[in-house]
Structure 1
């Protein structure tokens, strides 16, 4: 073709990989930050940091984008509330259980999103998708039952964490389904600015501001990473959807728990003392593989519906 530049498809794949990479490390840094800050304070900082950067950018580069705050679409307000609840649900899940547990259980989000396509958008479910749902369901039961046994000293904490993560997953589906419609009429980063800004405002009354003053420099770096993670991961995700097919992006992003599991295994081998490490036993690992694999199958074979309709 004579085009030496990077292909559009590859750009999308690389942006999706960046999102998966950042989300893979996210729960580990969240777990460490929970030693020093309350969950609501962490969620507030992540949203405030990301919203502020985008607000300043548009204030300088394109002020008309700020008008989204004057008369935001009702669907955007609902999507922002969903994202705000998703962040809190996932963080509480990490708080009560572990980074690995949170990453596996949250994979019910993409599966539920595929079901929303079936119920709301009247997309047909094919046999392969149904098989994917079944595999993921069996995997989740296996994973839940086995990990619960590992929390014999505090099963209530594990169940609380599980419930919070599922609330977060449902909230993410609400956000994702509405974002899918909104992005057709509005620039993705303009939407993101509002999606971060509204939860930041709502969480402000719950923040323990003095706790931030007592953070050491290394912990501040972790907290800033959490803010950057929000800004860059969701920004990269928007570009990924722009440059390549949604099913490819969804599959790549769904692989992010593998990064978490590998990192936790490495930390366990290094015997670090700054985070409680874990190694999943064979049953839990089989359950995790089934959940991730089932989610990928459900997402991948959904594209057949789109092709059939084209």
Structure 2
């Protein structure tokens, strides 16, 4: 369980940088499809060379694995990515990330419905805290009369991401995490490159290259690989709750790197989200300690 927690935290912090890189990309004159093309292409190339020199056996995949990764990489992951990047164009990075973090509630409810996962009092309280944190973020967004297109796209990204986590648990069960990561990124890259062609590479600037590499390494390879490792260890519901540290990382990075004004409602929402993470972990650590003492 501790390993799953650590993997979730690493993935969440890496994912938290996604919207920061996207905001920097908009400032550099890039558009959302262009950034996603760089993200998945550079990401799959980085991971390819890593596996080539460290564990090339993971580059081999069964036809069943290829089909499953293609379903996620062509249809689900690019849709979530473009909605998330599109939302960041219209609303602040911190708000985009915090709206996305209603997904632990959606994933847990779907896990209870489809996987018959039991939801105990501790998890219910944890989810209520996360919902309360998200409610403060929504209230702040409406209070500031933020762009409804951006809010709608962020909500859409949350819904698609919830579906994506459920599919990963079902379709990529018993698959090696790095192999699954590589082929999901590969099919996502092919999707964007077929649509975007070679023009973005011909016109790439130094800033665009650095942003693309950041999106590829941090927000793709590290983020996705550690998410799959976390799901492998603890399942999608617990991984989603543990990963709720992401908006806090984004909030801090948005204030530090982008100079965004972080208001008290957002801080309060982040605090409730953190409480929603800490609560189930304290219980799990207590149970584990008692078992170890026996």
What TM-score comes out, normalization by structure 2 length? Answer: 0.79
Residues 75, 149 of structure 1: alpha-carbon distance in 2 compared, 3 angstrom cutoff: same
Q: 3-state SS of the aligned residue for 1:118?
A: helix
**Alignment of 1:177 onto 2:166:** yes
Aligned residue for 1:190? 179
Unaligned regions of 5+ residues in structure 1, if any?
Answer: 1-8, 268-274
Say whether the 8 Å CA contact 1:85–1:171 is kept in structure 2.
yes
Are 2:181 and 2:228, in contact at CA under 8 Å, matched by a contact in 1? no
Q: Does 2:17 match 1:25?
A: yes
- Contact 1:114–1:299 (CA<8 Å) still a contact in 2? no
Give the whole-Å Cα distance in 2 for the aligned partners of 1:301 and 1:119: 26
* Aligned: 1:98 with 2:80: no
CA distance in 1, matches of 2:26, 2:269: 27
Q: Deviations over 1:221-255 (max 9, x none)?
A: 1221111111122223334555x645775454221
- Which structure has the larger Rg? 1
Contact 2:44 2:216 in 1 (8 A): no
State how far apart, in whole Å, the 1-side matches of 2:181 and 2:144 are: 38
Which runs of structure 2 are paired with 1:185-224 in the superposition (5 Å)?
185-207=174-196, 209-224=198-213
**2:116 equivalent to 1:132:** no
Contact 1:15 1:237 in 2 (8 A): yes
**Which moves more between the two structures, 23-32 or 137-146?**
137-146
Mapped to 1, the partners of 2:102 and 2:58 lie a distance apart of 38
Q: Number of paired residues?
A: 282
8 Å CA contact 2:104–2:241 kept in 1: the answer is no
Please name the residue that 1:254 is paired with.
Answer: 244
What does the per-residue CA deviation read over 1:31-74, in whole Å, with 9 as the maximum and x for residues that have no partner? 11123222111112211222233445556753674344x45465
- Residues in 1 aligned to 2:152 and 2:274: alpha-carbon distance in whole angstroms: 19
Instruction: State the distance in 2 between where 1:203 and 1:32 align.
Output: 20
Partners of 2:105 and 2:131 within 8 A in 1: no
Q: Counterpart of 1:78? A: 71
Aligned residues of 1:75 and 1:178 also touching (Cα < 8 A): no
Where does 1:56-71 land on structure 2 (aligned, <5 Å)?
56=49, 61-62=55-56, 65-68=59-62, 70-71=63-64
Larger helix percent? 2
Alpha-carbon offset, residue 292 of structure 1: 4.8
Q: TM-score, normalised by structure 1?
A: 0.76
